[in-house]
Amino acid sequence: MRFRLCRARRFGSGAEPSHFALWDITSETLAGLTQRPGRSLLTMLGTVLGVGAFVAVLGLTSTASGQIGHRFTVLAATTVTVTLAEDESNVASSDHLQGFPADADARIERLNGVVSAGVWWPITNNAQPVISAAPGVWAGTSEDAGGSAGLYAASPGLLHSIDPTVRGVLFNAFHDARGEQVCVLGATLAKRLGITQIDTRPAVFVNDVAYTVVGIINDVKQVPDLLTGVTIPSRTAEHVYGPPPGNSPAKMLIRTNLGAAPLIAKQAPIALRPEQPHDFVAIPPPDPHELRDNVEVDLTGLFLVLAGICLIIGMVGIANTTFVAVLERTAEIGLRRALGARARHIAAQFLAESTVLGLIGGLVGTAIAVATVLIVALTKNWTAVLNPATVIPAPLIGAGVGLLAGLYPSVRAARIEPQEALRR
Amino acid sequence: MTAAITLHGITRTFPGPPPIEALRGIDLTVPRGRYLAIMGPSGAGKSTLMNVLGLLDRPTDGVYELDGVDVAGIGEAERSAVRGQRIGFVFQAFHLLPHRSALENVMLAQLYNRSPRSKRAMRSRRVLELVGLTHRLHALPATMSGGERQRVAIARAMVNEPSLLLCDEPTGNLDSATADAVLGVLAEVHTSGQTIVVITHDPQVAARAERTVVIRDGLLHASEHAEAP
Ligand SMILES: Nc1ncnc2c1ncn2[C@@H]1O[C@H](COP(=O)(O)OP(=O)(O)OP(=O)(O)O)[C@@H](O)[C@H]1O
Ligand SMILES: [Mg+2]
């Protein structure tokens, strides 16, 4: 009795309604597709290209922008640059535009989220400095490195902000406060001057003034100019050369904790001079999302249109093949109807064939695209970024294309009258 | 015991213009287990009658009882079901699927009628044995002779144990020796009690049947040399 209930209702004639089980649809579909494998493969091509292009474009874009985002996060997102305002009205309102306060480093380093901060400026004392490893060198001679090397002033905090690797030590607040004749040497310049050892306390002569080299810096993250020059403490520079000149004003570099930069950029001018914060302009890092979006919009727009065109071509291809198959298999349709198939079973079969064709095309396309993204990422030493939200549904796009393509042919197949079809 | 087939005043008019009355009031009773031949000249309405009997076409008017149940007015779903479960078809053109083996072609008849998958192959093998094709189970139609193909088709028609086996010119594509073999298979099927209706214009085919009726201009006439029903 229980068994009876599970069975389908019967018609008045005693016949059970015809049935096309899912498992049978699947095996009939696969049989239909594999009986002409070459044609099935060709038909899939458009969908393979379309879905492949779609996934590859999104994958390459997210990989590339992920790359940008990665670099960005590490360095730029933790950097705030503060410059003096160049506003004319600002100059006019006060007698003279004041520079950074003497305790600028301390004022900023007090802020929560700041790792280190410091000011620097190039010393352009009207003429090129004469820089050499020995005294009494004339400007422009082969011993003078001043032609291509620069002289810089930097506060101790700046040296920390640029995060160099250093041989020896960096000059510190003590050297700075006392205006000592010390310097750090850029690695490039050190090589030119033949200075390799720090423990011998070598000196560099800048315009015949000796500065003791306390360290050689290499591999800075910011202000690479310092690698080719001599950097002396800012107080020492002020004693010898005066305050930073108007044509090369001091700049401040603040290294912050990750995520703190935008806030520090707002707080820095006030911390530097509460009564006149407009003397300073703090430049926060650009918004990483904006940066990434710009890249994505540039690339994806065009390629997604191309992917769409491929998908439409794929759809037309599947529709055409399915339609031809319906015409070719008219006798088979008649036979299946004679064997008990309903019109909807015929439609289901052709619809399943076109959908599976699209689905397989989508799977192949997705696989190729993922491989492409991985290979590109590997060759460029990038991290491949594939969003599962685009990769996983991608084969379904193919299936959708196949389904749409199969609608008309399968309706036509369902409408074929069995007695007409069998007359052949 | 009800008859396998009872036809009362079956007409089939193809709407024109001009309208063609292919069947003009057919009365026919086929008892269970009968082997009947329907003969007639070209254009007489043989195929039209076959389509009506096979529920591939609806009569314009009249009563058609299959196993005592009126099937003239039933809907598409029920007609499909009855075709799949009660009627076996054998066509002149065989209509085997070219990419499937003999066994798979026979199994196709069990696709739509809720036969359990696990039993399809076994049942199909058994009927193929019955028509003498045990050695050709996995052969493709292209590699088989015409006679073998038609025997596969008969096996396919028989696998669901139909009430009615309908054959439209079953030997039309075969030479006479092969035709004889196929007719022998039909005769054998008939001895097991199967109701068979064969449509043919070949007197030799009709001679194998127990009874022959002649259709002419859409009307049935008892054959001159036919025995009484
Ligand atoms: N679909 C149709 N539309 C219009 N007229 C039709 C249709 N099918 C058959 N006819 C007509 O009905 C008549 C009977 O046709 P049918 O096909 O039943 O003849 P037949 O006896 O099978 O002939 P043959 O031996 O040549 O196959 C013919 O006049 C034919 O033209
Ligand atoms: Mg005919």
Q: What does the pLDDT look like over B151-175, one tens digit per residue?
A: 999 999 999 999 899 999 899 888 8
Check A19 against B113: CB less than 8 A apart. Answer: yes
Q: Are residue A218 and residue A341 in the same domain, yes or no?
A: no
Disruptive mutation site among B12, B52, B53, B56 for chain A (greatest number of A CBs within 10 Å)? B56
Instruction: Give me the pLDDT at residue A90, please.
Output: 46
Range of the domain at A129: 99-275
Q: Does any domain span residue A5?
A: no
Q: Does any domain span residue B121?
A: yes
Q: Does any domain span residue A351?
A: yes
Q: Are residue A344 and residue A261 in the same domain, yes or no?
A: no
Q: Are A204 and A135 in contact (CB under 8 A)?
A: no
CB-based contacts of A245, cutoff 8 Å, min separation 6: A124
ipTM of the complex, rounded to two decimals: 0.94
Domain boundary among A275, A301, A334: A275
* B121 vs A contacts (CB less than 8 Å): none
Q: Does any domain span residue B66?
A: yes
Residues of A with CB under 8 A from a CB of B: 8, 11-21, 23-24, 28, 31, 35, 331-332, 334-343, 345, 418-419, 422-424
CB pairs under 8 A between A and B: 107
* B85 vs A contacts (CB less than 8 Å): 15-16, 340
**What letter would DSSP give residue A360?**
H
Q: Does any domain span residue B227?
A: no
Q: Tens digit of pLDDT per residue, chain A (424 long)? A: 344 444 557 887 778 888 898 889 999 999 888 888 888 888 888 889 889 988 988 888 888 777 766 656 656 678 888 988 875 544 444 444 578 888 888 888 888 889 999 999 888 766 677 888 878 777 767 767 766 778 899 999 988 888 888 888 889 888 888 888 899 998 888 888 888 888 888 888 888 888 999 999 888 877 888 888 899 998 888 888 888 877 778 889 898 887 788 888 888 888 888 888 888 888 877 665 555 555 555 656 777 788 888 889 889 989 998 999 999 999 999 999 999 999 999 999 999 999 999 999 999 999 999 999 999 889 888 888 888 888 889 999 999 999 999 999 999 999 999 988 988 6
Q: Are residue A133 and residue A267 in the same domain, yes or no?
A: yes
Angle between helices A394-415 and A37-74 (to 10 degrees): 150
Q: Are residue A237 and residue A362 in the same domain, yes or no?
A: no
* Mean pLDDT value across residues B63-85: 91
Q: Tally Cβ neighbours within 10 Å of residue B143.
A: 12
Q: Give the three-state DSSP class for B165.
A: strand
Disruptive mutation site among B12, B70, B76, B83 for chain A (greatest number of A CBs within 10 Å)? B83
Q: Are residue A32 and residue A180 in the same domain, yes or no?
A: no
In terms of pLDDT, which residue wins out, B208 or A93? B208
Q: Are residue A134 and residue A235 in the same domain, yes or no?
A: yes
Q: Does any domain span residue A12?
A: no
H-helix segments, A280-393: 288-328, 330-338, 343-379, 388-391
Domain boundary among A229, A252, A275: A275
H-helix segments, B7-140: 46-53, 76-86, 102-107, 117-130
Cα gap A46→A31, rounded to integer Å: 22
Q: Does any domain span residue B226?
A: no
Q: Are residue A382 and residue A355 in the same domain, yes or no?
A: yes
Instruction: Give me the pLDDT at residue B191, please.
Output: 92
Q: Are residue A190 and residue A63 in the same domain, yes or no?
A: no
Determine the residue of B10, B11, B13, B14 to mutate for testing ligand 1's pocket, defined as the one with the most ligand atoms within 8 A of the Cβ atom. Answer: B14
* Mean pLDDT value across residues B9-30: 92
Q: What does the pLDDT look like over A83-99, one tens digit per residue?
A: 888 755 444 444 445 78
Q: Does any domain span residue A323?
A: yes
Q: Does any domain span residue A280?
A: no
Task: Give the number of domains in chain A.
Answer: 2
Task: Supply the CATH number for residue B166's domain.
Answer: 3.40.50.300
Q: Are B21 and B218 in contact (CB under 8 A)?
A: yes
Q: Indicate which atom in ligand 1 lies nearest the CA of residue A419.
A: 1
Q: Indicate which atom in ligand 1 lies nearest the CA of residue B215.
A: 21
Q: Are residue A250 and residue A380 in the same domain, yes or no?
A: no
Question: Which CA distances in Å does A215 have to A30, A206, B27, B152?
Answer: 74, 16, 118, 96
Q: What does the pLDDT look like over A372-411, one tens digit per residue?
A: 999 988 988 888 888 888 888 999 999 999 999 999 999 9
Range of the domain at B102: 3-221
Nearest of A47, A48, A52, A44 to residue A390 by alpha carbon: A52
Q: Are residue A34 and residue A112 in the same domain, yes or no?
A: no
Q: Are residue A110 and residue A251 in the same domain, yes or no?
A: yes
Ligand 1: distance of its center to the CA of B43 in Å?
5
Q: Whose CA is nearest to atom 26 of ligand 1?
A: B42
* A339 vs B contacts (CB less than 8 Å): 83-84, 89, 108-109, 111-112, 156
Q: Are residue A231 and residue A302 in the same domain, yes or no?
A: no
Task: Give the number of domains in chain B.
Answer: 1
* pTM (2 d.p.): 0.69
Q: Whose CA is nearest to atom 3 of ligand 1?
A: B14
Which sign does the torsion angle of CA A156, A160, A166, A167 carry?
A: positive
